[in-house]
Amino acid sequence: MKLTDLFIYPIKSCQGISLTKAQITPRGLTDYQQAKIDDQKVTLYDRQFMLVDKKGNFITQRQYPQLATVLIEIKENNLYLNIENNSISTFELIPDNSKTKVKVKVWRDQTIAIDQGDEVAKWFQEALKLDICRLVKQSDEHIRPINSRYSTQRNQPVSFADGYPFLLTNTASLEDLRQRLNQKYTEEQVLCNMNLFRPNIVVETNEAFIEDTWKQIKIGNNEFAVVKPCTRCIITTTNQKTGQRNSLKEPLLTLSGFRNTQDGIMFGQNMIALNQNTLTLGDVLEVIKN
């Protein structure tokens, strides 16, 4: 079993960035290759930014699937924003911790974030055809804690991810789902790529859904607590390049037929890092505890 893919999503619900090597941080993955500024590492980590409405409530592809068309590139610790159809000019975002602090909400969690200003807000409003939205950055001074039922220590931080710093998926589980879709739709092909599930860590195994049995794993020199299955929603039916919803509600519909529980439709596992080393594609996965 080995590591095959690494992804970060600097802005929640926008497109991801594929990595070959990543650094573990308490809040999530960051690109190991990030440049240094003034000899001090500026960490741009997974889901460090998000869009909010005028009330400070988080915005995702659940309401606005067009978020999937926003491209992000990191250069010298700045974010370069574009849109798939190139309908507007690229925007260079220089993250700024000195701007206005605002109250925001992610699910039931309320916290303080840093509004990144009017210019980037206007860019998103034009790019996504939204009346009002603001881009905010997570504040280093205000911890958003992981649910204490699943955390491994008190006040353990998480980014603007739905609830946990790391999401793992398994190639064999995806292949199982693909086979079920092929059997169901013999005359047409239903898109079922791993990016529909927006993972951070993708591992290759020979057994579908074996990740459900893991309690603690080691990838390379990193140990993770596997704390909770990931509940799936309509985002899995959204093309992660065009923003178009699948008219058949797939692959979520088929997934619901065999992965539905009292807590939701499950695919992948949420994890918490137990140490902070690096991950590199090809790292071997070892199960420490089932």
Tens digit of pLDDT at every position of the chain (290 positions): 999 999 999 999 999 999 999 999 999 999 987 634 434 455 789 999 999 999 999 999 999 999 999 999 998 889 999 999 888 999 999 999 999 999 999 999 999 999 999 999 999 999 999 988 999 999 999 999 999 999 999 999 999 999 999 999 999 999 999 999 999 998 888 999 999 999 999 999 999 999 999 999 999 999 999 999 999 999 999 999 999 999 999 999 999 999 999 999 999 999 999 999 999 999 999 999 99
- Residue 269 neighbours by CB under 8 Å, 6+ apart: 167, 168, 169, 211, 212, 214, 226, 227, 228, 229, 230
Per-residue burial over 60-74, b = 16 or more CB atoms within 10 Å of its CB, e = otherwise: bbeebbbbbbbbbeb
**All structural domains of the chain with their residue ranges:** 24-138, 166-289
**Looking at residue 32, what is its pLDDT?**
84
Closest C-alpha among 91, 51, 99 to residue 75: 91
pTM of the predicted model, to two decimals?
0.95
**Looking at residue 134, what is its pLDDT?**
98
User: In 10 A of CB 40, how many CB atoms?
Assistant: 7
Closest C-alpha among 224, 169, 172, 176 to residue 197: 169
- Residue 2 neighbours by CB under 8 Å, 6+ apart: 203, 204, 282, 283, 284, 285
**Looking at residue 42, what is its pLDDT?**
52
Q: Alpha-carbon torsion 94, 96, 101, 106, what sign?
A: positive
User: In 10 A of CB 249, how many CB atoms?
Assistant: 13
Rounded Cα–Cα distance for residues 137 and 148 (Å)? 23
Distances (CA, A) of 275 to 97, 115, 152, 191, 217: 27, 31, 12, 36, 12
Closest C-alpha among 112, 169, 163 to residue 138: 112
Contact 234, 252 (CB under 8 A): yes
Pick 166-289's CATH classification: 2.30.30.100, 3.30.565.10, 2.40.33.20, 3.30.70.20: 2.40.33.20
